[in-house]
Amino acid sequence: MEGSLVDSAAASLCATTEARRRTGRSGPRFLSCSCSSRDEPVTRAWASYSRVSRMPRAVRLVARIKGWNGNGHRWTTALEDSSVLEAREDEYGGMVVDADRLPSDMAAFARSLSASLSYWKLVGKKGVWLKLPLDRSEYIPLAVKEGFRYHHAEESYLMLTYWIPDEPCLLPANASHQVGVGGFVINDQMEVLVVQEKYSASALVGVWKLPTGFIHASEEIFTGAVREVKEETGINSEFVELIAFRHAHNVAFQKSDLFFICMLRPLPGDIKIDEVEIQAAKWMPLAEFIEQPFIQDDHMFKKIADICMQRLRERYCGLTAHSVISKFDGGTSTLYHNVAGPEPGG
């Protein structure tokens, strides 16, 4: 497609250049064609050319960004009023704009964004990812005016997307889940490490519960559980097994929620609570923890307590963490699974 459009544009430009040479007409010089006997001027009247009437800027950008050489023609341009945004191509044929190399003023950004979309449409790109940092928030209305849509926002930026093909958008949606962890820390005296939170729902006031929290970006589930226990109680611990997890929907901001319960082994040390979030922390006998009315009246927490009891009696086996490398993404990840015991009679 690109070649046919550029060839057509080249033929039109060459014919126009020759006509202008014969008639003596001239206009602002911005482009020269090497097939002419002289370096004749050509005007900006691209829209009058039948087969490139809708893509003048894109054709011009092909010449400017890549250069072009076809059928003996080569175009060069001295225009600086339009340029493609700095971007890299992703593995799906889309473009990811470099947020660190955006134009420094709104007018230049608007020109470059429009020119970039024209060029990317011409060369068959698909999705465009545009990350606007907080200090470039004034660019947001300009991007929306061009047809970009909000994708997600973080503390320091807003991500917008643009789907180019005239077909259903295949760009992945914003993250759909938040991930929480709880640490079931039990010592050799069959005592469970529990906390009372300073700020909680009325139903949880005075309840002794497991240390819980959300994992950080790029943090392992078991690492997050160990960290949350340390932050809330001051107790260091070691991961033993992933006991169970709960999946709920339409929680905070209509997101789904994954909550993982990890069994942890405590290391020597004294309790030192996080006084900002935690009212109190202590070691509580397991039986006393399970007999709390809140645990007994809540089906989920009662089931979790039962599972932990079965694990301690070695009637239940949780999932251990194993580092693996997959050819799917080439990176290291953690696979949680049971480790098979010896075969009977083995």
Q: Are residues 313 and 216 in the same domain?
A: yes
Q: Say if 97 falls within a structural domain.
A: yes
Q: How far apart are CA 36 and CA 17, in angstroms?
A: 7
Q: Provide the domain limits for residue 121.
A: 87-163
Q: Are residues 289 and 222 in the same domain?
A: yes
Q: How far apart are CA 216 and CA 42, in angstroms?
A: 58
Q: Are residues 293 and 272 in the same domain?
A: yes
pLDDT tens-digit readout, 259-298: 999 999 999 999 999 999 999 999 999 999 999 998 888 8
Q: Are residues 159 and 245 in the same domain?
A: no
Q: Are residues 205 and 240 in the same domain?
A: yes
Buried b / exposed e along 242-257 (16+ C-beta atoms within 10 A): bbbbeeeeeeeeeeeb
pLDDT tens-digit readout, 143-170: 999 999 999 999 999 999 999 999 999 9
pLDDT of residue 298: 87
Q: How confident is the model at residue 341 (pLDDT cuts 50, 70, 90)?
A: low
Taking CA 53 as the corner, what is the angle to CA 6 and CA 5, rounded to the nearest 5 degrees? 20
Percent share of the chain, pLDDT over 90: 58
Q: Are residues 108 and 184 in the same domain?
A: no
Q: Are residues 203 and 124 in the same domain?
A: no
Q: Are residues 208 and 123 in the same domain?
A: no
Q: Are residues 259 and 158 in the same domain?
A: no
Out of 50, 77, 104, pick the residue that ends a domain: 77
pLDDT at 214 exceeding the cut of 70:
yes
Out of 37, 57, 77, pick the residue that ends a domain: 77
Q: Are residues 21 and 56 in the same domain?
A: yes
Q: Say if 126 falls within a structural domain.
A: yes
Neighbours of 73 (CB within 10 A): 19
Q: Say if 328 falls within a structural domain.
A: no
Q: Say if 329 falls within a structural domain.
A: no
pLDDT of residue 82: 54
Q: How far apart are CA 335 and CA 339, in angstroms?
A: 12
Q: Are 221 and 215 in contact (CB under 8 A)?
A: yes
Q: What is the pTM of this model?
A: 0.67
Q: Are residues 105 and 57 in the same domain?
A: no
CATH code, 145 = 3.40.630.30
Out of 77, 110, 133, pick the residue that ends a domain: 77
Q: Say if 60 falls within a structural domain.
A: yes
Q: Say if 169 falls within a structural domain.
A: no
Q: Are 286 and 293 in contact (CB under 8 A)?
A: no
Q: Say if 171 falls within a structural domain.
A: no
pLDDT of residue 202: 73
Which of 17-26, 55-64, 300-309 has the largest mean confidence? Answer: 300-309
Q: Say if 214 falls within a structural domain.
A: yes
pLDDT of residue 19: 43
pLDDT of residue 27: 38
HSE toward the beta carbon, residue 128, CA cutoff 13 A: 29
CATH code, 269 = 3.90.79.10
Q: Are residues 110 and 70 in the same domain?
A: no
Average model confidence (pLDDT) across the chain: 80
Region 166-177 average pLDDT: 91
Tokens representing 213 are: 């929290």
pLDDT at 307 exceeding the cut of 50:
yes
Count the domains in the chain.
Answer: 3
Region 116-142 average pLDDT: 96
